[in-house]
Structure formats: structure tokens, C-alpha cells
Amino acid sequence: MLVASGLMTAPAANASSGKPGSVAVVDYNLGDTAFTDPQSGTVSELRAEVYYPRVLVGRHPLIVMSHGSWWACDVQAATTWPCPAGSHPFPSYQGYAYLGQALAAQGFIVVSISADGINMTSFDYGDRARLVNEHLSLWEQLADHDSGPLVGKFYDAATGRLVAPCFAGHVDMKDVGTMGHSRGGKGVMWQASDKHKSEWPAGVQVRAVLGLAPVKFDDPEGDHSDTLITTLPFAVVTGSCDGAVHEAGQQYLDDLAGQNTAADFSISLRGANHNYYNANWSPPFAFGEDDSTCPSTEMPQNQQRDTLVAYASAFYRYELYGDPSGLPVLTGAQPLPGVTSTTRVVPPGR
């Protein structure tokens, strides 16, 4: 383990210790063909589930979560987007509800976005990054101007009834975190990279990036430039039993060679696999798979998700609230009960 030096120790600001019962959940869906990528032409949906404190006071940090590659439709034989008659988009974006609710209970507003259209028609990581930017643009219009396509488009996730949560004035678009799983992990690294920061919507400032079992292919860039981050903090979480991407995401820290001006964190969880981070990719859910390379010693599903909640909470509270109380968890100085992990902390390089 490398020990960080010079890490911020500012007190927590605006942090909430709310209970899960204080969390509300809404959905928005602007349609399966609502977004056409301006560079690639890929057509995709604008759909998300939102977890937020039921009582909004002041401005809250926003976290956008992006899933990875999976079945785009709930019929495996589907080959077109939108899904053909008789099938529906697969709800991969709802597989992180446990994490979204846990973070919302701490005061964050969390938006988990759907990327089924990209999964059906494109494996381009720029597509995933630009879809994140499109959602951020929608939220910037709503949060700062109470305008844009999201006005009047929220539905209670439990009842399906149209609701009107008051987000205007309560979302801090200059205090944004992102999280991407699998191919979505490379997508958020792409979106936050030095090379692509200029594509962020006006008024948006990303301040923390979490790659969850992210893929790491140096393609198409060839020089890592599309995912190289040297001006803001990121964390990578991988698993020793990941049968899909193994621990390739650790290479994001290796690429830096001391270049980042912020501290970076990595956690490798012994026994964790790829799919258990998404509850809808895991058995017994339809199409759920156990991709573990060591099934006899793997972490149970619930323990793996609880562990992610602990690490993600510590990371986002530190970077978006300035709350250092979770640093011992991130650095490995305070191991989680019953969890074996290998941690790395790369301090600021300059």
C-alpha cells in the first residue's frame, strides 16, 4: 500500500446523515430515440432513475452513474434499437439502486442513466461519455434555470404517478461526481479526461470519478490520451475474481506516472466478481450470470455491494463534501470487517 501525503482534511460541508426512509426515487424517460450523438450519429435513449433526499435544503452534489455492456432488450434475440415489438429495454440502470439509495441517504442526488441504445448499436466509449454529458446538460438547465426537457417529466418510481420534485436551486452542478461500471467505467474516464473536458456542458464541474471494474483497452486512442486524467481525483475498484475484465482497471493509475495533481485511489477486493455490482446482472435476475473465476471463495452478492457502498461513500464524501472521515477506509488503514482488499493511494504528482 502506498500512503498518500498532503491529502485534504477540510471539515464536512453540507453532508447529511439521513436514513434510507428519507430517500425518494423518481424516473424520467424522454424516449428511446431522444438523443443522437453529434459525433457518431448513435441514437440512444434519455432515461434515468434518480435517488435523492426527500427534503432538499441548500445545494446538493450530483452523482451520475453509467452501466456497462449488457443485453439491451429483455429478449436476447433482439438485434435492433429501439427494441422490437414484444420486448422492452433491459433495466441495467436500475441495478445500482442499492448504491443510489445509500448515497442519497447521505445527501447526494444520484442519477443512474440507461445506455441500452449504445449497447445495441455501438461500443464506442465517446458515445458513453457524450451521453453522460447530455444528461448533465439536462440537469444544468433544470437545476440552475428550472427549464429544459426534464421539467414535468418525473414519475414516482413506485407508483408511476407524475410528480414534481423541486430540484431547481438544490443541485450543485459545480460539485459533480461520476461512476461507471465496466464499459461505462471507461466511458466516465473518457468524459473526465484532460482531452475531453472541453466537452462538458457549460456550468458543470466534475470533481470526482469512480471506475467500477472498468475496462481498459487502449483503443482507439493508442496513447491513452482519451482516458488520461491529470487534474482531478479518481478511484478504481476491481475484484480478484472478475471473469470479465479481471483487474485491468488498475492500469488507469499506472498510466499516470505521477502526472495527476490530485490524489488517486484504487481498491482490489478479494473474491469480488464483475456482475454482482449490478443487481440486475446477477442471479436470480433474468439473464443474470455469476462470472466469478473463483466461485468457491467468492464474496456473497450482498457483501460485495455493501463493500462498494462503503468505499464509494468514503470517496465521494471526501471529494465532494471535503469529509475526511472515510480516508482510513480508502487507504486501507481501517479494513472493513470480513473484507480482504489491496489498496493503493497515489498522492499528487505535482
CB atoms within 10 A of CB 142: 21
Q: What is the mean pLDDT of residues 130-139?
A: 98
Q: Can you give the pLDDT at residue 2?
A: 33
Mind listing the pLDDT tens digit for each residue in 34-56?
999 999 999 999 999 999 999 99
Mind listing the pLDDT tens digit for each residue in 153-184?
999 999 999 999 999 999 999 999 999 999 99
Domain boundaries, the chain: 20-346
Q: Can you give the pLDDT at residue 11?
A: 32
Mind listing the pLDDT tens digit for each residue in 10-20?
333 344 444 54
Helix%, strand%, coil% for the chain, nearest 5:
30, 20, 50
Q: Can you give the pLDDT at residue 219?
A: 66
Looking only at the bridges linking them, the beta strands covering 206-212 and 171-181 are parallel
Q: What is the mean pLDDT of residues 300-321?
A: 97
Q: What is the mean pLDDT of residues 215-222?
A: 77
Q: Can you give the pLDDT at residue 204?
A: 98
Q: What is the mean pLDDT of residues 122-127?
A: 90
Q: Kindly state the cell numbers that stand for 304.
A: 460485495
Q: Can you give the pLDDT at residue 258?
A: 78
Residue 198 CB contacts under 8 Å (≥ 6 apart), including other chains: none
Mind listing the pLDDT tens digit for each residue in 60-70?
999 999 999 99
Q: Can you give the pLDDT at residue 7?
A: 39
Number of residues that this document lists for the chain? 350
Per the prediction, the chain carries an average pLDDT of 92
Mind listing the pLDDT tens digit for each residue in 72-113?
999 988 999 999 999 999 999 999 999 999 999 999 999 999
* 3 has pLDDT over 80: no
Sheet holding 162-163, edge to edge: 162-163, 154-156, 23-29, 47-53, 109-113, 60-66, 171-181, 206-212, 234-239, 264-269, 341-346
Q: Can you give the pLDDT at residue 171?
A: 98
* 5 has pLDDT over 70: no
The CATH architecture one would assign to domain 20-346 is 3-Layer(aba) Sandwich (3.40)
pLDDT band per the 50, 70, 90 thresholds, residue 220: low
Q: Kindly state the cell numbers that stand for 286.
A: 433474468
What is the pTM (predicted TM-score) of this model? 0.94
* 123 has pLDDT over 80: no
Q: What is the mean pLDDT of residues 269-294?
A: 94
* 278 has pLDDT over 90: yes
